[in-house]
Amino acid sequence: MHTDRRRLTLAATILGSSLAFIDATVVNIALPVMERDLDLGLTGVQWVYLAYSLALAALYLTAGAVGDRWGRRRVFTAGAIGFALASALAGAAPNEVMIVTARALQGIAGAFLTTNSLALLRSVYGAQSGRAVGLWTSFTSVATVIGPPAGGALVEWTSWRWIFFINLPLAAATVVLARLGRGPEQEQVQVGRLDFGGAALAALGFGALTYAMVEGADHGFGGVWWAFAVAGLALVAFVLVEQRVREPLLPFSLFRIRNFAAANVETFLVYAALGGVFLYFTIYLQFLGFSPFEAGLANLPPSLILILFAARFGELAGRYGPRAFLTLGPALFGAGCLLLLVVDSRSDFWTAGIGGLALISLGLAVFVAPITATAISSAPERYAGIASGVNTTLSRLGGLLAVAVIGLAVTLVFEARAGHRGVPLAVGQKAPELRDASVAGFRAGMLIAAGLAFVGAAVGWVGISNAEAMEPVSREEPALAEP
């Protein structure tokens, strides 16, 4: 019976998280049709995307703290219900204000849904959470692969509104599975007052930082300096407040735990590399002459390899310790990035390009489940939600920052070679000088991504302790006492 409950909980977390992950990508397919129907304009289209992303990034940490305090299953279920209600509002939206508001509400609910899904797995599976996280990774990857084509079919053959309405029965199934899987972990919650001041500052800081990165990458960082300033001030205030309140939102003493600190630093670095590679390599393939559909297919191998192998590597890391996996995975990823440097024509893709993607895909399969399990399980169980929130926030911020930095590097290298006579990585670029400048810019970006991955591998080798990872998690209050 206990095993059946755990499986039901696993199914609920997979389905619930998949809702939030798919919605981040499927809506992008529908944006042109939504723009026409709701007369959004370019600014409105951008805010349909940004409202969701900003709310997610801003509230991951707060969502984890709420789950730790009021019960992860309860908060996870509430997130699923909230996501369904926001989806219904988005599907019925008659104008720009309503659709942007609904997307922001979806992001808020999605933060509580995804963060508490991983924390709930930690509570339910305990020492076996590595394999559970691997299964979670595999099946959410399946949903990520299936989601965009299915969403495109709904948009083309019915209405864009159905990409939101379809969430209602799926969210209902999530709630039912979560309730059927209820177990004793529901009682393991904290008591006391939530740090509302810290929550507000964290949301403001991470939200402003996300906005600055996204808008700066698209329109230039000079125009969003104020957002960086707001983010800096809010995050400094957050640190000061957290060191003074009795029950902080984020106990900074968690970072004294070696594996917690190392795993989160490595998460930031490797997910930064990941975000940069998959955006710019997809653009680069179209620059080389592949169609958008063909370029999109290049993203399938990583997802398929994750589906096949993530659970297995998560289980092996739980059995033998995560250090080797958290070193080898990023190293393979970095080697794959270096192999992409050879690709400067369509024909090169079928040799060096395929080889590079294979190494990147294998590296991700080796890395993703062990790093997530290590980051969450290294913290005391009562802080599992906070641990999940920190890890998820850093992975998203790493990707956003890398997209901005690599984009800047591509532009600077291109302009150094070609001046201001063209656009980097432009589709249909014919002039040899411009094409050479674009290839050089792409190579500079991949070198940055490879460097991030290799530094991540070094952090895994030096920072991760198998002994700490393999011992029973009993690091409760004595290890977390404030100085």
Q: Is the pLDDT confidence value at 82 over 90?
A: yes
Evaluate whether residue 270 is within a structural domain: yes
In a shared domain, residues 383 and 275: yes
Evaluate whether residue 153 is within a structural domain: yes
Task: Tally the domains of the chain.
Answer: 3
Evaluate whether residue 48 is within a structural domain: yes
Q: Which residue has the higher pLDDT, 446 or 61?
A: 446
- Strand (E) or helix (H) holding 290: none
Report, as an integer, the average pLDDT of 77-83.
Answer: 95
Mean confidence (pLDDT) of the chain: 84
In a shared domain, residues 372 and 388: yes
Evaluate whether residue 346 is within a structural domain: yes
Chain segment 24-48, per-residue pLDDT in tens: 667 766 777 888 888 887 567 778 8
Lowest mean pLDDT among 29-38, 123-132, 335-344, 419-428: 123-132
pLDDT at 296: 66
Q: How confident is the model at residue 335 (pLDDT cuts 50, 70, 90)?
A: very high
Evaluate whether residue 192 is within a structural domain: no
Q: Is the pLDDT confidence value at 477 over 70?
A: no
Q: Is the pLDDT confidence value at 347 over 60?
A: yes
pLDDT at 186: 45
In a shared domain, residues 217 and 293: no
- Give percent of the chain above pLDDT 70: 89
In a shared domain, residues 308 and 379: yes
Evaluate whether residue 233 is within a structural domain: yes
Lowest mean pLDDT among 75-79, 183-187, 317-321: 183-187
User: Cβ contacts of residue 360 below 8 Å, gap of 6+?
Assistant: 277, 302, 332, 333, 336, 337
pLDDT at 423: 79
Q: How confident is the model at residue 282 (pLDDT cuts 50, 70, 90)?
A: confident
In a shared domain, residues 453 and 423: yes
The residue among 226, 248, 270 that closes a domain is 248
The residue among 210, 232, 248 that closes a domain is 248
Domain containing residue 262: 256-472
Report, as an integer, the average pLDDT of 244-271.
Answer: 88
Report, as an integer, the average pLDDT of 52-72.
Answer: 82
Type of residue found at 45: V
Contact present, 179 and 171 (Cβ < 8 Å): no
Q: Which residue has the higher pLDDT, 186 or 265?
A: 265
In a shared domain, residues 322 and 464: yes
Nearest to 357 by CA among 341, 337, 342: 337
Evaluate whether residue 403 is within a structural domain: yes
Is the pTM higher than 0.85? The answer reads no
Find the distance separating the first CA and the last CA of the chain, reported in whole Å: 44
In a shared domain, residues 227 and 291: no
Q: Which residue has the higher pLDDT, 246 or 359?
A: 359
In a shared domain, residues 211 and 132: no
Q: How confident is the model at residue 340 (pLDDT cuts 50, 70, 90)?
A: very high
In a shared domain, residues 363 and 383: yes
Chain segment 92-135, per-residue pLDDT in tens: 999 999 999 999 999 999 999 988 888 888 778 876 777 777 77
Give the three-state DSSP class for 188: coil
Q: Which residue has the higher pLDDT, 105 or 482?
A: 105
Q: Which residue has the higher pLDDT, 155 or 241?
A: 241
Q: How confident is the model at residue 218 (pLDDT cuts 50, 70, 90)?
A: low
In a shared domain, residues 270 and 413: yes
The residue among 144, 178, 212 that closes a domain is 178
pLDDT at 97: 92
Q: Which residue has the higher pLDDT, 177 or 296?
A: 177
Q: Which residue has the higher pLDDT, 78 or 293?
A: 78
Q: How confident is the model at residue 480 (pLDDT cuts 50, 70, 90)?
A: very low
Asked whether the CA dihedral 375, 379, 385, 390 is positive or negative, the reply is negative
pLDDT at 194: 67
Report, as an integer, the average pLDDT of 429-435.
Answer: 88
Q: Is the pLDDT confidence value at 472 over 50?
A: yes
Give the three-state DSSP class for 357: helix
CATH for 160: 1.20.1250.20
- Give percent of the chain above pLDDT 90: 33
Q: Which residue has the higher pLDDT, 476 or 275?
A: 275
Report, as an integer, the average pLDDT of 57-73.
Answer: 83
In a shared domain, residues 267 and 353: yes
- According to DSSP H, which parts of 158-195 are helical? 162-165, 167-180
The CA-based angle 95-98-100, given to 5 degrees, is 105
Q: How confident is the model at residue 483 (pLDDT cuts 50, 70, 90)?
A: very low
Nearest to 112 by CA among 56, 164, 152: 56
Give the three-state DSSP class for 225: helix
Evaluate whether residue 187 is within a structural domain: no
pLDDT at 24: 67
In a shared domain, residues 30 and 155: yes
Q: Is the pLDDT confidence value at 479 over 50?
A: no
The CA-based angle 42-44-48, given to 5 degrees, is 120
